[in-house]
Chains A and B, each alone.
Chain A
């Protein structure tokens, strides 16, 4: 497909690239703001990716360079992986001086689907293992997040970590009384897996593949779940929680920019894994929030994402400074939220109330 056809809206404007004199054929979410030629667009998005980390001096001042990339097969994860691979090639100017490890994650419990995804992961793994790149990787099911100390060794014949925990994981999800609670549990498991895997491998920093659009939808769903106070940290570029630094380098990049860059650089063919992420369940807050943001952008409110992220960045937790942290998600929790099992923040306490097997919940997550 010719580049001019990738973004017809931008091409139709007939304007010049804002950085050079070439025709502007690509743009971000709002073509009326700025259009770019192909090379400038690629440079712009890559610059956004790298400056998100550079501005916060995450790898400066003697900080550890080891980084774990949580790869879930999404376009954002493909872009992040593509950037990592680029940084490893000796021919390129190595701007990202990091030592990456990739954690390929599985969400599905359907053996057939898991088989297809593992096959794709094997292809990706082969690319990562090529000489000149040599990025170590592991595959894990998010159920492995149930392990307090993740066992990195995998039994022979098993392709991924966490297969033994899938039964408990399924049982826990079935015990949740609403699709929203299940969705939220899945998200928490993903975070726990990343944090515990990083702790087991001695890695301090985790890249999460969340774009600006994903984070804006998270803002709305977090507010709808009562997490308002913690939202600012949960969507920020850099956040310290559960003993690790969660980084979101694509904080300022939209889905459209990710999709275009992946197409232009070939990351979609090389790394994207279709059908990898579970679709948002119907009748859940997450889907309603996602549809809401998409609808606003379709209606012409293209600044919705940037406004949400900007306003969330200005807010903090207004309650008394917390001395302790939630046992599950690691967010600050005040004393008054203490329950009999463990100290939980308000949203996690609500989650526990929706579980019909509280003993299992406590054993799995609160102990």
Chain B
């Protein structure tokens, strides 16, 4: 079980502050990439009319997901408690296979690498990777 060190938490908070005003852009790009690179993820969005990059549902949902990540940053000291409702949503309503959290996390890291080439250093990368893994675990908490 990874514990986020104090340094990890600070690194994530400082970096995420830079991302905060681009949530829709970042979210939309990450989601678009996920749908393109891992086509099996499209199965969760059969109810959308348009799955193409930059489409209205992709933009809207990308923003929603990133705001969720922001919520996790805010409760980084107790992810399980802070993400309880979201975990229940994913467990009982959405029933997203948790393997997909890793997939989306990877796509998010690729987007951050593109948009923040100077800030996304290896140290920031490792803290963010740990954080996203912890976030994914907290989201899977209520599954079984």
Whether chains A and B associate is no
A residues lining the B interface (CB < 8 Å): none
